[in-house]
Structure 1
């Protein structure tokens, strides 16, 4: 085994004052155990990223930072969204870490699995995906829609790990390469598999949220799913093209039928069918324009190159002293095997 790697656990937070004390306690306990077993370096830390919370989340992070040597923090100037907050933490942590684990603050992901992540990292894997094998704690609706989303993404040709969210371990070199993806429309679950590098999976049971309420209501889940689909696949646009050809073919058939009826002297009234067809075609056109507009909107966001997040405050002095220390696990994965 190589020298002990420096681990940073990145936790994006938005209005998590109810669950934060328990999260700090459990992650600190995990780090203490990993340090005692010499799986990570003693100067490993937890980095909480406050995504513009409106409650006392940041005040709690400051208090824990003063009392707990493991706790560090970033405060974003405004709510940038879960994916941007997570990326902010990952990019900050990679400057002084050999490996980084990302996990949500709600404790639905099993913190004990982080140990298995580190074991796999020592075996030479650069990316370790946490895969939910049991989602019985989720409601039927959430479980069904989430699994349907993963299947849909796979059918559209997107390389994504089934039942994986953002609970994963990444090595420093994978994060260095992730930073090269200058995308504004972030969907990390799709971006990370594009990196390549040796990877593996660890399975765990998903738990109920420890406290507070979900920050992903139906509206946000649908928006997130649509962003993922349109950011990684042009299949919806191709579907619109195919539908256009089909409607054109149907219109030709309808025209021939009308002409034939006229020549044969049949009484072609067709008022109802005409109105229905106009409404149907009009609806399809609006749908197609909206879909095309969505892709154009994404291009508009990309070309402006606005920053994904703005950091207002940092509480990372526990970790910044490590930046001058050579990273223990910065060598390629093949060298760690």
Structure 2
């Protein structure tokens, strides 16, 4: 069986995890590639359809790859799942409880509802159980090779010897007021903390090498929401051996290394950061325990990044489940 991957060049790296396991996938009976002749199924990037074609233009077995920063499914993509020729829907992050795909949103995102008392908007296109079954998280965020080069394998001090207790780095001003205020709240709280050594890299004030070095010399990374729930920095910080304190994201699932699985790899705080200082205090109250937690997460992520057999099996199982929907 052959699957042709039709993705913009800018985003083909999102399939690095698939191509890393290409030989193992072949051993399981599937060929993956680009510009393949005679493919049994196409994987098409959602924007290729919504921006250049129409949902109705899909008339052969197709899996949609969603390039979206959020676990939610944007309104413009929702009609795609109604097309009977769409046999699968592949995401980078997804909602752990699939019922939430039909939950009301704010500004097309479920996580925005956690940041505002505004009434959420019911979705216009409601998915059936059969359509929800098509949605799977099957791309590996941690496998983007170029993204993690500066942090993977970098020699870092033991957690107890790291200079910064708490680190935040990132853009604060977004074109979504909810997210701007959310990030401003995190920075305001961190800037007001005097009992811990806090390093703030606001905006793009830290170059890539300086950022990577700072990450490797920090005990904690505080990670707010952006356009989506996850950030590249969540995975970078785990690779660097930091404890990640994350605005509650246990409702989000990732593949291969389920980074936001409740209680597993990151420490959750309230979405409004009302308990952020207390959560930081608790982590830093026992640095040895923090080091064990961060070390276990780092080892788990490294193992997932180096593993191929199970990843290939998961990908092939997804392809086979999708093909079984052809009528």
Could you tell me the TM-score, scaled by structure 1's length? 0.28
Larger radius of gyration: 1
Q: Which has the higher contact order (CA 8 A, sep 6+)?
A: 1
